[in-house]
Structure 1
Amino acid sequence: MNDLEHDELSLLKARDTQARVLLIDDQLIVAEAFRRMFAAVDGIDIHYCRDPAQAIEQARSYQPTVILQDLVMPGIDGLQLLDLFRADSVTSSVPIIVLSTKEDPKIKSEAFALGASDYLVKFPDKIEVLARIRAHSRSYLAQQQRDEAHRTLAKLKVELERKNGELEALSCRDGLTGILNRRGFDEYLSKEWLRAIREGRELGLLLVDIDCFKTYNDNYGHQGGDECLRRVAYTLGSGLKRPSDVVGRYGGEEFGVILPDTALDGG
């Protein structure tokens, strides 16, 4: 790993653990107070949004781990903005700390009912607000990591099932001719046999053997014999008319053809 890659990895790790705070308040003095509060604190980055009408858009762009928002703002009521955050797919699970000028049980109850994660009266003690921001941020990031792990596991499960399906299909195929091998042939015959008994239907079965194959193989070698087997398999397969009809290599130069719903006269 070169120095550039190392620096990029370090930045990504730092972003994964850093608390990113989106502050939404129409008063510049409040923003400045929080900026000074966080100025000398490691691990916390703050982004200020003065216009609540732009809060959702800026949250989508900034991707905060914690939102600090005032309750009383022009244009959009703080409780209304809280409801909008919870309705948005990007911000629905981001912790939101509501800021208020007074300790009002009714307002606090409404805020929590709409999905607030915490409630602070301005101006909170520095130690207290930092502790709450870090706690909410850690909890949110941990949940994001768990969700990502679950998504990754789900994708891996789907991929594993697909691979297992491919392996299962390959295990039932003859490597030389590409048609069903003895195992696949027997499984399909057993399934169709039981279905024919259950539904009272006919089941056609053909067994085909290549005459004098050993002599042919001795004269033209194994490559010539293999090519002969492939051509016979192709000829038998190309003569099938329905998806339910199958051909398999029963063993050596022996082939089988299964024809569901087919009587002795071919009807």
Structure 2
Amino acid sequence: MGRKILIVDDCIDSRMLLERLLKKAGFANIIMADSAERTFEILHIEGKEVDLILLDVIMPGMDGIEVCGQIKEIEDVKDIPVIMVTGLSNVKVLEQTFKAGASDYVTKPFNTVELHARIGSVLRLKDEMDKRKQRETELVVANEKLQELNDVLEQLSSLDGLTGIPNRRRFDNHIETEWKRALRNQTNLSLIMLDIDKFKPYNDTYGHLESDECLKKVEKILQNTVNRATDLVARYGGEEFAVVLPETSFEGVVKIAEMMRRNVEISQIPHTSSNVSDVVTISLGVATMFQGNEQITSIDSLIDCADKALYEAKNSGRNQVKYMDSHKQRKCNHEI
């Protein structure tokens, strides 16, 4: 269909002359307007298809400079190049045309060579601008797709490949975030460290595939025991899990840990090679950071307290919850 050029001139003779010259130069798709109003009507309907506007400066009512200025304020058509057509050689008028957003100008009477040259130059510039915008659009789309891919990869890199729950990396980030929040809001932050009892003998007896299924079953039980969006169950490593519980008191985390222990035990996952029980059990250590606690003053000390409590639970016969009695600032060996 070729280039679409809009000629705007209130003088029919000028419009017809321009149309004839343009068609002679190979531009067959010509539309014409005789006023500012008609110009905006055309642009409203066909604006996105117009490649160039030849706009007369002197017109009744709204002159060409005003029309050009308004075109450049309309988002859908502001990038259409405008060549002003003028019989005036006044420098001030030409300055006004460029200030209004015109790309170039031609003077009356028309010099055919000059007219073709200026139109060709403006259209080539438009082509380059269109290509650049297309490349920018493609780049934006590519960046968005890359960001989406990075988000997916980031999410995958934060999940355990076997169980699908957060991994150690995600745990580290989450507990740091919640630690800062707890300090800022002066709230508690509790942590459970837990281990599947006698998991190596389980693996030796039932094999890797069944051991993987056992990990998945325990993970689901743990997940089902907590239900707040801010609670995090993570695979800490091997058969060890960690549970972060923001805004949870010392008494509250002890109860949740005991619920986890009991829920795993009553799930009756067979474990014939365990000297603790004939079903799979877990040992748990808990710790709580609260305001004024001089024993737990950092993330490392919170993890260390929960880890030591877990060790105590395993050392005391397993299948139990142990905790650091932070209120008394000493280790207790209470079985819940």
TM-score class, shorter-chain normalisation, is: 0.7 to 0.9
Structure 2 residue ranges without an equivalent (≥5): 254-336
User: Offset at 1:49?
Assistant: 1.0
Report if aligned partners of 2:11, 2:34 keep a CA contact under 8 Å in 1: no
Picking from 200, 206, 210, the partner of 2:192 is 206
Q: AA paired with 1:35?
A: E
Cross-structure match for 1:174: 160
5 Å-filtered alignment, 1:158-237, equals 158-193=144-179, 201-237=187-223
Q: Residue type matched to 2:144 in 1?
A: V
For residues 85-96 of structure 1, the aligned pairs below 5 Å read 85-96=71-82
Residue in 1 aligned with 2:22? 38
Preserved contact between residue 4 and residue 31 of structure 2 (Cα < 8 Å) = no
Distance 2:177 2:32 in 1: 67
Correspondence 1:55 to 2:39: yes
Change (3 A) 1:112 1:190: closer
Per the alignment, residue 115 of structure 2 pairs with 129
- SS of the equivalent of 1:87 reads coil
What is the alpha-carbon distance in structure 2 between the residues aligned to residue 172 and residue 91 of structure 1? 47
Return the alpha-carbon distance in structure 2 between the equivalents of residues 265 and 220 of structure 1: 37
Per mean C-alpha deviation after superposition, the further-off stretch among 87-96 and 26-35 is 26-35
Q: Structure 1 residue 84: deviation in Å?
A: 2.6
TM-score by length of 1: 0.79
* Alignment partner of 1:29 is 2:6: no
Alpha-carbon offset, residue 199 of structure 1: 6.6
| 1:138 match | 124
| d(CA) in 1 for partners of 2:76, 2:181 | 52
> Equivalences for 1:66-105 in 2 at 5 Å?
66-74=52-60, 76-105=62-91
- Alpha-carbon shift at residue 246 of structure 1 (Å): 0.7
Equivalent position of 1:6 in the other structure: none
Question: Aligned residue for 2:279?
Answer: none
- Unpaired runs of 5+ residues, structure 1, are 1-10
Between the aligned partners of 1:109 and 1:120, the Cα distance in structure 2 is: 14
Instruction: Report the Cα distance in structure 1 between the residues aligned to 2:60 and 2:11, rounded to whole angstroms.
Output: 10
Structure 1 counterpart of 2:135, from 149, 158, 161: 149
Deviation digits for residues 143-180 of structure 1 (CA, Å, limit 9, x no counterpart): 22212222322232232222212211111111221111
Deviation at 1:220, TM superposition (A): 4.4
Q: Alpha-carbon deviations, 1:208-260, whole Å to 9, x = none?
A: 22224344445544443322211211111122243222111122222111223
CA distance in 1, matches of 2:171, 2:161: 14
Amino acid paired to 1:36: R
The answer to whether the 8 Å contact 2:6/2:33 transfers is: no
Quick one: higher RCO (CA 8 Å, sep 6+), 1 or 2? 1
For 1:71 and 1:31, the matched residues in 2 are separated by 13
1:205 counterpart SS class = strand
Match of 2:97 in 1: 111
Give, in whole Å, the separation in 1 of the partners of 2:220 and 2:126: 60
Contact 1:20/1:66, CA 8 A, preserved across alignment: yes
**Greater Cα offset, 55-64 or 252-261:** 55-64
> When the two structures are aligned, how many residues end up with a matched partner?
250
| Letter in structure 1 aligned against 2:15 | A
Post-superposition Cα deviations, 1:72-131, rounded to whole Å, max 9, x if no partner, equal 345643333223322222222322122223334454343333223323222221110111
Q: Whole-Å Cα distance in 2 between the matches of residues 199 and 36 of structure 1?
A: 78
Tell me: CA distance 1:125–1:204, structure 2 relative to 1, closer, same or farther (3 Å). Answer: same
Does the 8 Å contact 1:31/1:48 carry over to 2?
Answer: no
Letter of the 1:49 counterpart:
M
Where 1:266 maps in the other structure, the secondary structure is helix
Structure 1 partner of 2:240: 254
Alignment TM-score, normalising by the size of structure 2: 0.64
